[in-house]
Amino acid sequence: MSLDFSRRAMLAGGAAALVAGPASARISPASLKPLIGPGYRPVDTDEKGLWQQMERVEEEVAGSNLLIRDPALNRYLQGLIGKVGGPAAKDMRIYLARVPEFNAMMFPTGFTVFFSGLLLRMRDEAQLAGVIAHESSHFLLRHQIRSWRDTKRKSNILTALSMAAGIAGGATGTYTGDLVRLAELGTILTLFRYSRQLEAEADAMGVKLIAEAGYAPLSMSETWDQLITELEWSAKERRKRVDRGYSLFATHPAPRARLDDLRISARELTVAGRSYDRGRERYLQALQPIRQTLFDDQVKLNDPGASQYIVETLAKDGWNGTLLFYRGEVHRLRNGVAYQQAAAQSYAQAVTYPDAPADAWRWHGVMLMKQGRASEGRTALQRYLAMAPNAPDAPFVRQMIQS
């Protein structure tokens, strides 16, 4: 959400009452009801205007060359919205963009954009369903128009108060500028607080939606745990503080608090003795055609902390050739003898699995040759050539084998 305040709106006024109070308590999933039904169309003037603009945005998004257009995968995602989208499930559209980041956004007219990096990080269908349900909840609870109205109302109040304070100050001969600055900050803070409140609502309703669809309610808090830990690993590797981006002004709730709330809500909604679906096999199958691309994109981000965390998180369900290969890639792209050794080890392990990609054999071969184990290295490279005879570097590898 962008905030566009004119300097003049920041002029004057003592709106201390608008200053943010303490963070709000957890929102109970049971307290939330969808605000729209199937086939919802806007009736108010402001919402109609918003929808009209968004139709244009959707046209742009739908035609973007960033989209991953694999039909089967898109059908699968659409099917998931159908399961967890509540009463408006049929009205929602999902677009998958090739961006190696954890993010998703819902637009006021009911279309949502998911980043491919999010798909890479999900361990199973239940986790993905959780994120989809969260985004669907933004639509079901009409968050965008409520947020716009909130912004409008507060900026109107601020301007009116600034004006009044200025005039009062002028009439009495006092300077009110400092008060005004305080009011500005107060207004901005309440805007962010409002948006945090909306995020918390979407979390609560999201848990309810996936629980109703038969997915494990705890999967949502797991996703958050993963995201937070990933940020921590990433920051540690880069020797940066992790809390950057979660300052006072962050639009989303403080991550730890959010995680706790989600956990409590999930426990509330979990029915003892009932078996919940995780849908891991279905998920992996749907993701299969693009999974390698997703890994490649992530590794190339040069964020070793995050990449390593992702590989190890996915490996909680068992190591395989692909995961070991990408663990090797993360190590190989770093400086230092220890990392190169770790990479060699990962490749060597990867090729013991039947699903090891051809590239695992190449790097395994290269690493062996570097270690002076030339004949073993040649065998591995021959295996690579057999698996990928048309690889762009095939002539080069043939040369390596001969020399």
Q: Which is nearer to other proteins, 8 or 238 (CB)?
A: 8
Give the distance, in angstroms, between the CA of residue 34 and the centroid of all CA atoms in the same chain: 23
Kindly state the number of chain residues that form the binding site for other proteins, as judged by CB under 8 A.
35
Name which of 43 and 337 has its Cβ closer to other proteins.
43
In the complex, least distance from residue 157 CB atom to other proteins, rounded to whole angstroms: 8
- Least separation in angstroms between residue 281's CB and other proteins is 36
Does the CA dihedral 144-150-155-160 come out positive or negative? positive
The H or E element containing residue 96 is strand 93-97
User: In the window 268-307, what residues touch other proteins (CB under 8 A)?
Assistant: none
Nearest to other proteins of 27, 164 (CB atom): 164
Sign of CA dihedral 118, 123, 124, 129: negative
Q: What is the DSSP string of 125-182?
A: HHHHHHHHHHHHHHHHTTHHHHHHHHHHHHHHHHHHHHHHHHHHHHHHT---HHHHHH
Minimum distance from CB of 365 to other proteins (Å)?
Answer: 43
Query: Contact, 317 vs 98, CB < 8 A?
Result: no
What is the footprint of other proteins within residues 150-189 (CB under 8 A)?
Answer: 151-152, 154-160, 163-164, 166-167, 169-171, 173
Cα atoms in the 13 Å half-sphere on the side-chain side of 316:
12
The 3-state DSSP class for residue 97 equals strand
At residue 280, the 3 state secondary structure works out as helix
Min CB(19)–other proteins separation in Å:
18
Site string for other proteins, 1-30 (x = CB under 8 A): ---xxx-xx-xx------------------
Residues 6 or more apart whose Cβ sits within 8 Å of residue 75? none
CB of 87 to other proteins, least distance (A): 24
Within 10 A of 396 (CB to CB), how many other CB atoms are there? 9
Nearer residue to other proteins within complex by CB, 6 or 247? 6
Q: Which amino acid is at 201?
A: E
Number of Cβ atoms within 10 Å of the Cβ of 395: 9
DSSP state letter for 32? -
Question: Closer to other proteins at the Cβ: 154 or 208?
Answer: 154
Closest approach of Cβ 394 to other proteins, in Å? Answer: 34
35-54 binders of other proteins (CB under 8 A): 45-46, 48-53
Give, as ranges, the residues between 55 and 94 that touch other proteins (CB under 8 A): 59, 63
Tell me how long the chain is. Answer: 403
Residues 131-150 contacting other proteins, CB under 8 A: 148
User: Whole-number minimum distance, CB 8 to other proteins, in Å?
Assistant: 5
Least CB distance to other proteins at residue 113 (A): 17
30 vs 167, which CB is nearer to other proteins?
A: 167
Among residues 60 and 318, whose Cβ is nearest to other proteins?
Answer: 60
Which residues sit at the interface with other proteins, rule CB under 8 A? 4-6, 8-9, 11-12, 45-46, 48-53, 59, 63, 148, 151-152, 154-160, 163-164, 166-167, 169-171, 173
